[in-house]
Amino acid sequence: MREGYVLGLIPETWRFELTQFPWVRRLLKSRWIPLALILFNVFLFTVILMAGFFGGLTSPGNYNFGIMIVWILWWVLLMMVLVPVLSRFWCTMCPLPFLGEWLQRLRLFGVRYVKGRNLYFGLNKRWPKSLSNMWLMNVLFLATTFASGFFTVRPAATFVLLAAIIALSVVLSLIYRARTFCLYVCPVSGFQGLYSNFALTEVRVKDPEICAKHKTKGCVVGNERGYGCPWLLLPYAFRRNTYCGMCFECLKTCEYDNMAVNLRPPGVDLLVDEKRGLDEAYKALIMLGIAVVFFVTFQGPWGTLKDWANAATLSGYLTFIGLHASWNLIVLPAIFLLFVWLARRAARQAVPLKKVYVNFSYATVPLGLAAWIAFSLGIILPNGSYLLHVLSDPFAWGWDLFGTAHFPWTPVLTGIMPYLMILTLLVGLLFSIDIALKIARQTFTEPEAAGRGAFPILGFLGATTLSLMWLFVG
């Protein structure tokens, strides 16, 4: 592969500025964006919460608006479109922290800016430094998946989960600064952040020289046009998508219109050796591991496992939690550690094992994302037609709002679904190999050592892909 090119084809530095079009820039600088999108989702999630509340514990999942919209439509859109293409665009329009942010700002539309700074309601405390990473999100996301067996069959479980996220976001917004909840607590935020490094879009500075000379830094401290970065970042120094929530406040506050939204080649942020850590490495592996657990549980032929996940018995449920947690926190990271150890040994270069482990973990991101996209195909193609039903009858009250309440179950493209899944995995593998080879050159400075060191990692990626293929298509 050519150095500096994605897959040897597209220069890593290639960018296409979407905000060069005046109407796009105007749109993103308007305070209606993202407010309008958020308000739409507030309405949608209100209906979802109601459907979950009224659905109780026994309504079948495929006839519940909350379950269908959240776990079929939203999750699939997130994995297949939003994250790989639009980065953290879901965070742009997420309604869950809406109440908390509204309370902080005490404004829905305008900007509270007095005496050179934005005003916020709340205690505005700093989040503890020891928790300023992805560990808490890793634990919370994993813990959330312990209840995954309930979410698709018990609407009340979806209600409790969403209500808990909303309540927690409000409470933390009243205590801590800005989007602390989204940055360090939200279970969905962590994997979006990591996987957004593979995304095709980014918010970045156009000309760093302008920022270097600019003293007031409205993008950080805010001004009368907008708030200082709610994600507590330095927009002028962005190099990775991980923690950028794409709220576009920096586009609004920049006095020089020096912020841009760009199209770019996929995966370039995975090569940025900045603030890499074991927390993100674990996130990458946990996501890969959970994809396997979900597939085995939900689409596997093992009824016992379904019973365990569905808490048919307490001992079975505890067994599920134990196996699930062990696989994701111990077994898979240990398997990866073995390959990393082999890589370091093959390279014969004195690089700390932790650095090798962390660096190569980013090579699993494209494959992990592909595994989730493949899993999502297995959700949406057979079950997508139920969406038409719940749109017309969201509370199972016998409504027929759009005349689709009696649309029959209609699987779509399921005959070629396994082939689509294989193709998805192969594309993911291709990108993972590309990233792994480049990270090998970053990690082991000598080219020959890098070549030798990459081999075990390619073995891990290949074996993982084959295992997933075997799992997906038998």
Partner 1 sequence: MKKIVILGLIGLVVSLFVVGSYYALFRYRTFPPAADQPVETLDVLYVARDVELSERGAEDPVWRHVPSKTLALAPQVTAIPWGKASVPEVTVAAFHNGERIFFRLQWRDATENRAVGRDTFTDACAVMLPLVEEPQPNTIMMGFLEGANIWTWKAVRDAQVWGRERAASPAPAERPYTDYYYPLEEREVFPIVRESVASAVEDLIARGVGTLTPRAHQRVQGRGLWRNGTWTVLLTRALATHEAEEATLPVGKARAVAFAVWDGAKGDRGARKSITGWVRLRLWPAEVPAGAAGR
**Binding window for partner 1 (CB under 8 A); candidates: 165-173, 200-208, 358-366, 441-449:** 165-173
* SS3 label, residue 125: strand
**Binding window for partner 1 (CB under 8 A); candidates: 130-138, 224-232, 279-287, 305-313:** 305-313
Sign of the dihedral through C-alpha 32, 37, 42, 44: positive
**Placement of tokens 């493949």 in the chain:** 374
For position 406 contacting partner 1 by CB under 8 A, the verdict is: yes
Site for partner 1 in 32-51 (CB under 8 A): none
For position 67 contacting partner 1 by CB under 8 A, the verdict is: yes
For position 174 contacting partner 1 by CB under 8 A, the verdict is: yes
Site for partner 1 in 128-157 (CB under 8 A): 149, 152-153, 156
Q: What is the number of helices (H) and of strands (E) in the chain?
A: 24, 9
Burial pattern 44-82, b for ≥16 Cβ within 10 A else e, equals ebeebbebbbbbeeebebbbbbbbbbbbbbbbbebbbeb
Give phi and psi for 465, each to the nearest 5: -60, -45
**Binding window for partner 1 (CB under 8 A); candidates: 221-229, 256-264, 304-312, 461-469:** 304-312
Among 1, 10, 167, 466, binds partner 1 (CB under 8 A): 167
Omega of the bond leading into 301 within 30 degrees of 0 (cis): no
For position 403 contacting partner 1 by CB under 8 A, the verdict is: no
For position 463 contacting partner 1 by CB under 8 A, the verdict is: no
Among 383, 424, 443, 465, binds partner 1 (CB under 8 A): 383
CB of 172 or CB of 211, closer to partner 1: 172
CB of 55 or CB of 456, closer to partner 1: 55
Residue 407 C-beta: closest distance to partner 1, Å? 7
For position 401 contacting partner 1 by CB under 8 A, the verdict is: no
- As a whole number of angstroms, the distance between CA 273 and CA 258 comes to 24
For position 302 contacting partner 1 by CB under 8 A, the verdict is: yes
- As a whole number of angstroms, the distance between CA 340 and CA 324 comes to 23
For position 402 contacting partner 1 by CB under 8 A, the verdict is: no
Measuring CA to CA, which residue among 330, 329, 351 is closest to residue 340? 351
Cα-based distances in Å from 92 to 267, 308, 332: 21, 36, 32
Residue 311 C-beta: closest distance to partner 1, Å? 11
For position 9 contacting partner 1 by CB under 8 A, the verdict is: no
For position 409 contacting partner 1 by CB under 8 A, the verdict is: yes
CB of 61 or CB of 456, closer to partner 1: 61
Cα-based distances in Å from 297 to 147, 250, 306, 320, 367: 12, 43, 6, 10, 20
